[in-house]
Structure 1
Amino acid sequence: MNQEKMAVMEQKIDSDYRNIAGIAVQKDGRLLYENYFNECTAASRVHVYSVTKSIVSILIGIAVDKGYIKSAEQKVLDFFPDYRIKKREKTIQNITLKNLLTMTAPYKYRSAPYTKYFTSDDWITFTLDLLGGKGEIGKFRYAPLIGPDILSGVLVKATGQSVLDFAAENLFRPLGIIPPGSVTFGSKEEQMAYNQTKTISGWACDAAGTHAGGWGLTLSPLDMAKIGQLYLDSGLWDGKRIVSEEWVRESVREHSCWEEENLRYGYLWWIIDDQEQAYAAMGDGGNVIYVNTAKRLVVSIASLFVPKPKDRIEFIKTYLEPAFEK
């Protein structure tokens, strides 16, 4: 580590990235740096928002590996045979899991109906009712919250387990991550408090018990670093296969692009840099799992929510990576 550059990095956190809760940096599988801010500790768990999506992507991959799901090309409605398609609705019948994983599925809403979503007892049916419409399949449309829950429903239907139970058995416990508990909200105030939590180990779910696919999971920086290391090591953990190398490779290569923002997308992972094979799971508020394959580097940053946080990838590239170069 370059101590001078490390000091500059930490000064930058104090001045411009003050909502950071904790950072972990690993190189070649060794933990080189671990630090906490805002009265957080190694025991703290924070809501990582859309990092949850990348966890769900891994779970879909594991379900494919185990034969619960045939492939990413399988049609969404294969898993919901009892779902009643509305009259003249044809688009939804052709949407695949890959469309959900790459954010290339169309939806009927222009402005996301978040209030109705959060007060719904069944997020899956609510979201299925909004899937399809007149939009074009294959065109990128980022769905922050209303959309990924369908993948949670797919996991439940395919595996016969809750998303949390499947994750605990096949991902969390094998990586030494203590499985969180299920969390439901009785009010808007409870949900807002959860967004700022430092102490709750949880995964948000609806009244039907289905866990959120696009948000709602709390993790620590070390938990997040383990996920990043798993992907850096192509799906292996301590020599044991957790998810197939093929799924990891497909997850972190470009499948679609958010052209307006010049952001490229894999299977619920963001593609950062082709030359260094860098990619990231990113969540609102500045939560990130960053993997740089060329440098054998994993960076995890857990952050307390603030609106419009400063870019964490810019922070990593400008201040953090230089501090760990020889």
Structure 2
Amino acid sequence: MNQEKVTELEKKINNDYSNIAGMVVLKDGKTLYENYFNECTATNRIHVYSVTKSIISILIGIAMDNGHIKSMNQRVLDFFPDYTVKRREKTIQNVTLKNLLTMTAPYKYKFTPYIKYFTSDDWVKFTLDLLGGRGQIGKFRYTPLIGPDILSGILVKATGQSVFDFATENLFSPLGITVESNVFFHSKEEQLAFNKAKNISGWVADRAGVNTGGWGLTLSPTDMAKVGQLYLDGGMWNGKQIVSTRWIDESTKEHSRWEKLNLSYGYLWWIGNDKEHGYAAMGDGGNIIYVNTKKKMVVSIASLFNPRAKDRIEFIKENIEPIFENCE
């Protein structure tokens, strides 16, 4: 490893990517680089925002592997038999699990009703009430916040466990990832404090106890790197199959596309083009789990929230891969 280039990299982080809390680089399963910034250490847990979505994707895959979920083509409402559909509401009845995973489900809201969402007691029901409408099933519509909670609700219904317990048993504990407890907000101030915190280990849940699907999980860069390595290794961890290779292959290939930004999407994973040989879990503020299958590399970056964070994919391709891709 060229120490001079690493020094330059860290200078660039401090100057241009100053909200980075920590970064881990793995190649062939070995840690080539691990460092922390902004007074953070390996023990700090950071809110990784939409990286949470890709964790939900893994849990859906494990639930399928275990027979809790039969098919991607199951209708969403099949999981919620007690949910009452409003009169003349037809679209919602045809939305499938696959539509939710590929962001091709329509919703009734034009502008995200954040305040009503955060102040409601049941985020799954709140979101179900907004599913459907006059939009087109199959057309990509990225829903950063209000949408993925339905997947959390599906996990609860299908497995008979809380998302937290199912994740702990089937993903976090096997990988040695610590997520200590559910996090509940009693005020707007508590939520804002959570977003800035460096020392909260947990997963946000609504008042009904259902964990968030699109945001709200805290992880360390090492935790994130483990998830990336799990996927790079085809779902194997310490000789045990955690999630099937079939699910990984299926969830990391293009199923839909955000035409406006020319971005490919799998099952809650962002997909690179054929030349890039990779995919990523990406969260607001510059949180990322990046996997390059050709170079056998994983890069994880946890970041303190910054609404104008610079592109991490570009940063990794231009500044990180060239330094570490030929290291043994």
Shorter-chain TM-score tier: over 0.9
Alignment of 1:282 onto 2:286:
no
Distance in 2 (CA, whole Å) between partners of 1:17 and 1:268 is 25
What percent identity do the matched residue pairs reach? 72
SS in 1 for 2:56: helix
Contact 2:2 2:323 in 1 (8 A): yes
Matched residue, 1:198: 198
Matched residue, 1:264: 264
| Deviation at residue 36 of structure 1 after TM alignment | 0.2
TM-score where L is the length of structure 2: 0.98
Matched residue, 1:151: 151
SS in 2 for 1:264: strand
Matched residue, 1:77: 77
Matched residue, 2:54: 54
Distance in 1 (CA, whole Å) between partners of 2:159 and 2:179 is 18
Alignment of 1:294 onto 2:302:
no
| Deviation at residue 5 of structure 1 after TM alignment | 2.0
Distance in 1 (CA, whole Å) between partners of 2:133 and 2:85 is 11
Contact 1:50 1:281 in 2 (8 A): yes
Matched residue, 2:141: 141
Matches within 5 A, 1:119-138: 119-138=119-138
Alignment of 1:95 onto 2:95:
yes
Matched residue, 2:168: 168
Matched residue, 2:273: 273
Distance in 2 (CA, whole Å) between partners of 1:293 and 1:254 is 15
Distance in 2 (CA, whole Å) between partners of 1:56 and 1:2 is 37
Q: Which deviates more from structure 2 when the two are superposed, residues 95-104 or residues 268-277? A: 268-277
Distance in 1 (CA, whole Å) between partners of 2:295 and 2:166 is 32
Alignment of 1:36 onto 2:36:
yes
Contact 2:124 2:150 in 1 (8 A): yes
Amino acid at match of 1:222: T
Alignment of 1:221 onto 2:239:
no
SS in 1 for 2:25: strand
Amino acid at match of 2:216: G
Alignment of 1:317 onto 2:317:
yes
Distance in 2 (CA, whole Å) between partners of 1:260 and 1:4 is 39
- 1:31-69 CA-to-partner distances (Å, cap 9, x unmatched) read 111000000000000000000000000000000000000
Matched residue, 1:232: 232
Distance in 1 (CA, whole Å) between partners of 2:325 and 2:164 is 38
Distance in 1 (CA, whole Å) between partners of 2:249 and 2:240 is 17
Alignment of 1:21 onto 2:21:
yes
Contact 2:17 2:310 in 1 (8 A): yes
Distance in 1 (CA, whole Å) between partners of 2:202 and 2:256 is 31
Matched residue, 1:118: 118
Contact 1:183 1:203 in 2 (8 A): yes
Matched residue, 1:180: 180
SS in 2 for 1:273: coil
Runs of 4+, deviation exceeding 4 Å? none
Amino acid at match of 1:74: Q
Matched residue, 2:4: 4
Q: Paired residues, what number?
A: 326
Matched residue, 1:68: 68
SS in 2 for 1:146: coil
Distance in 2 (CA, whole Å) between partners of 1:101 and 1:226 is 22
Distance in 2 (CA, whole Å) between partners of 1:208 and 1:6 is 47
Distance in 2 (CA, whole Å) between partners of 1:232 and 1:118 is 36
| Deviation at residue 277 of structure 1 after TM alignment | 1.7
Contact 2:104 2:256 in 1 (8 A): yes
Contact 1:145 1:215 in 2 (8 A): yes
Contact 1:62 1:242 in 2 (8 A): yes
Distance in 2 (CA, whole Å) between partners of 1:21 and 1:138 is 37
Distance in 2 (CA, whole Å) between partners of 1:72 and 1:179 is 28
Q: RMSD value over aligned CA atoms?
A: 0.7
| Deviation at residue 180 of structure 1 after TM alignment | 2.8
